[in-house]
Structure 1
């Protein structure tokens, strides 16, 4: 019997060579596009790219990466339900030493912001409570620096934007004060580049902002105190990631102000722009007549082709030299975006990669975890037990 299971013969007889959905181990649901994809027996260790819902559905979908995490190996999307995120929205997600942390958020049933922090160890297949946040919050920025989780700003229990920050040390399971942002923000994003954390945009006072801040030497400040940098446009609820020496900003919501009517309207963006870290002090010299003039190069690049689909609340994940954009929502229609678009940073082009068949994608975040294959074998054996019965 063992050999038939390993070769997939018995499972193949039951499936009838058809792609179907099956409940596996209680609240977990997976979809497989082929038998080989279902069993996932190519490697003993899987590199999973999770696309995690933050709207309260509790859904977590994943695709497989190659072992070096430089490309997507399988586009067969699998679906799981996480009880710890069901009914919770706008929480933060971080991965430290292959342990996933779910931080804070908003309980849509009780209408309360949360202090709660839980962690998931894929090798133990268990969720564990951690020390709670010092202050309950949601819609905050997050980055991991030197093995510690830094969160900044967010929405407080009274619904207002915060400027306070906290730092979590997984080794001691403790939260400490992390200073303050230059101004209150929520619905902003953070990214780690080198030994610095960058924070940009967000909303405060019912409008989007174009701030660009940096965390260095234990405090937050303007990127350049003498010549502060600003984003090319005010934006919040966007995706942010790095490739090489560039920070990319994708999608989001911006506020277009009509000066004549003295009002503004919110627009879902489909554009992308980038900031080059190594250009801010570079000067380009050009000949002008008989003299040589100096011109400061701008670190901002805005002349990229746009995505086909505008989206906010999306997630961007750099894999190799490409940026994959997952999910998100169109503000004007309220519809989620089900097509994953990929931006090739070398060619400067967009391509449609694959389509999500199910699940809520209106507000998502990504995380990469290394998961041993034995858990999938347990799920298959669990299903086969009922097949044989």
Structure 2
């Protein structure tokens, strides 16, 4: 009976919304709202006054926590609540860690998770004024959801190049515009711009031959992985012009690496012989098992970075999309890894203190110690014999 009533309500709201949205098309800036363009290029009319917010899809709630008023949230997907079993295998998510009491107290607006999809009935039952989504790049699907619930659905995006992608900046700016929190959005955007400019300046004028070759290992990407998981054209390295050894690989037939590599061939890794290795802490437990394998251990221990103790630990940021604050902290730490011995005068930061500053800026709380406690002690030069 309850479900039938809910379905009837959906039909009524859908019919009324058709008139509302068609009316809005005639005047993009009405007394009741304004029309914005989301990250799919959809024009969406949003109310001027928003009191009830729902965020759905991978990373949507995270972006909102950076910019929006959390008191306006009226529901959270199960993936961001404790004890639901959804997302239990995902790596650390600081936005969830900091806001767990609030998230756990709110009703469910759907399951969420990597295999999740929008739950129109649950969303409708919570009567949001607006829905921010990161579920799909399909315009028709988002238009269909918007029609079903009779509320504006605005799509955000992280883009394809992680923390420094233009779509990240556009999403933050869009949230600030819609939620009337432009000052907050601009604060974050200024930090991102200043970070890019500063880190880029570190590598200026330093000849590549003076830089140690660096390899990223155990990169988290749709789960945790071993040391063979890495990336060429890695934006967190590129921002400070770190010498990524994968960028320099050319195979016998001219093949090269582009973007994320789930499994770099072990013999290729041996031939690259990186002088320094940065490990994603999320996959360190897998590296432990690889070091117990005779053949893999032999290759790893033959590498210059292993022989000379040049192994470093960065924090995992790929978990239900990009944890931006951790990615920016990693960018500072990785710059230190590359330049601490050849250009120390350009490094005007302590990487742990910088991480504290970044967590506080984005999340309103310094949660670095909590992250470090779950990730082998945090940023460090790693003694591989003790892992």
TM-score greater than 0.5 by the shorter chain: no
Structure with a larger share of its residues in helix: 2
* TM-score where L is the length of structure 2: 0.26
Task: Identify, as 1 or 2, the structure richer in strand.
Answer: 1
